[in-house]
Structures are given as structure tokens and as C-alpha cells.
Amino acid sequence: MPGLQTKPPSRIQQENRRAILDAALDAFSTHGFRGTTLDQIAEKAGLSKPNLLYYFPSKEAIHTELLSGLLDTWLDPLRALDPAGDPKAELLRYVHRKLEMSREMPRESRLFANEVLQGAPHLGPLLGTGLKALVDEKTVVLRAWMDEGRIARLHPVHLIFSIWALTQHYADFDVQVRAVLGDEGTDPYPEASLFIDTLFTKLLSP
């Protein structure tokens, strides 16, 4: 069907869409969907509200656009788990990549947390399909490794849960982490990395 191709986005369109999505990520991740107003996003993006709605048809559209790419990005490290690699090394690499993502993409982590916390009203059934499928696939690998006695026998899904919980905790509960640790300026991640490494090394040893 020739003639139906979409025009390539202009430089202005690229810049403004990026600015909007960035501002929206900031807002949605700290105030939630309903807690965020279009005016907030517009101001942070340096645009007027009607101009916002020139680039995106609605508030939901912005939120959806952010969420849609997120799940994939978020699961990339798990997807990279190599069945042919060394079990312990592969899992520890996964853990560290996940912790690194918490540190470098805390806004995305919180956006995701907000969504799941409220019952995943927008991500919805994607959890039961795409996410579950990936976990099921990797579960087979984990079970094989356990059968071969290369890592300790554990419930594979709960093992994955534990990785998610421990790593995302440092992004999602950042305020609490810093409040408890004191030492305002200090970066909690180095110690966290060490601790989590120890934890999973011990846990996975048969």
C-alpha cells in the first residue's frame, strides 16, 4: 500500500516528544498516574499544555507509551540469562545487572512499582502472558542446573522473585534506605552490591 507511509518525524518533533516523555517519567514515577497533572508535565517539559496535546492525544497515551517499552527493557537482563553459561556466574551477573538498572534507572523502576502496586491496571494481562512466559522459560533452565547439582535446589520462581525484590528495593525505597543509613551524601549501592553478592553466593551454593 504505497502512499500510506508515515512521514519521518522532524527534529522539533523528536526533541519535544523526548522532552515530554522525560518530564512525564519524572512526574508519573513520583506521583503516580492520577497524581500527575498535564500542567506539571508541560511545565517540566517547557511546553504549554495545548502544545503537549499536539504531540500526544491524551495523558493516558503518554503513560502508555512509557509503560509499553518499559517491561521489555526491564526484562532484558533476565532474557540474557545464558543456559550454556556457568550457572552461578550467570545468575550473579543477572543480579548485578539488575542492581545496576535500579541504580541507573530508578525512575523507571518506580514507574513499574507504582503500576504493579496498584494492581497493574494498564500493564494488565501482559504480566500473565509475556512476563510469565519468559519466567517459565528461564525456570526450565534453572531447574536443569539444579538437577545437575550445579546450584542449590530451590524454588526457581521464588528465586527470581528474590532477585527482583532485593534489587528493586534500592530504587523503589530509596528514601527509606538513605534515611536509615544516614550519611546523607553516601551512595548505598557499593555496600548493597557486596551484600547481595554474598547473599546469592551463599544461597546458590549446593
Partner DNA sequence: CGTGATCCTGACCAATCGGTCAAAAGATAA
Partner DNA sequence: TTATCTTTTGACCGATTGGTCAGGATCACG
**Contact set with DNA (CB under 7 A):** 7, 10-13, 16, 36-39, 47-51, 53-54, 57-60
Site membership for a copy of itself, residue 90 (CB under 8 A): no
Nearest to 194 by CA among 72, 105, 95, 114: 95
| Of the residues 17, 40, 157, 197, which one makes contact with a copy of itself according to CB under 8 A | 157
> Of 46-54, 81-89, 93-101, 106-114, which segment contacts a copy of itself by CB under 8 A?
106-114
Q: How many CB atoms lie within 10 A of CB 137?
A: 13
Site membership for a copy of itself, residue 140 (CB under 8 A): no
- At CB < 8 A and 24+ separation, what contacts does 159-165 make? 159/203, 160/78, 160/135, 162/203, 163/91, 163/94, 163/95, 163/98, 163/200, 164/98
| Of the residues 38, 92, 135, 141, which one makes contact with a copy of itself according to CB under 8 A | 135
Residue whose grid cell is 557486596 = 194
Least distance to DNA from the beta carbon of 30, Å? 14
End-to-end C-alpha distance for the chain, whole angstroms: 59
According to CB under 8 A, which residues from 24 to 63 bind a copy of itself?
30-35
Report the alpha-carbon angle 27-37-106, nearest 5: 10
| Of the residues 18, 79, 150, 155, which one makes contact with a copy of itself according to CB under 8 A | 155
Separation in Å, CA 148 to CA 106, 110, 138, 206: 37, 37, 16, 11
Least distance to DNA from the beta carbon of 49, Å? 6
State the binding partner of 16 from DNA, a copy of itself, none, CB within 5 to 8 A by kind: DNA
Site membership for a copy of itself, residue 92 (CB under 8 A): no
Nearest to 53 by CA among 67, 37, 33, 31: 37
Residues 6+ apart with CB under 8 A from 196: 95, 96, 99, 166, 167
Site membership for a copy of itself, residue 119 (CB under 8 A): yes
Residue whose grid cell is 494488565 = 124
State the binding partner of 38 from DNA, a copy of itself, none, CB within 5 to 8 A by kind: DNA
The contact set with a copy of itself (CB under 8 A) reads: 30-35, 110, 113-114, 116-120, 127-128, 131-132, 135, 152, 154-155, 157-162, 164-166, 168-170, 172-173, 175-177, 179-182, 191-192, 194-196, 198-199, 202-203, 205
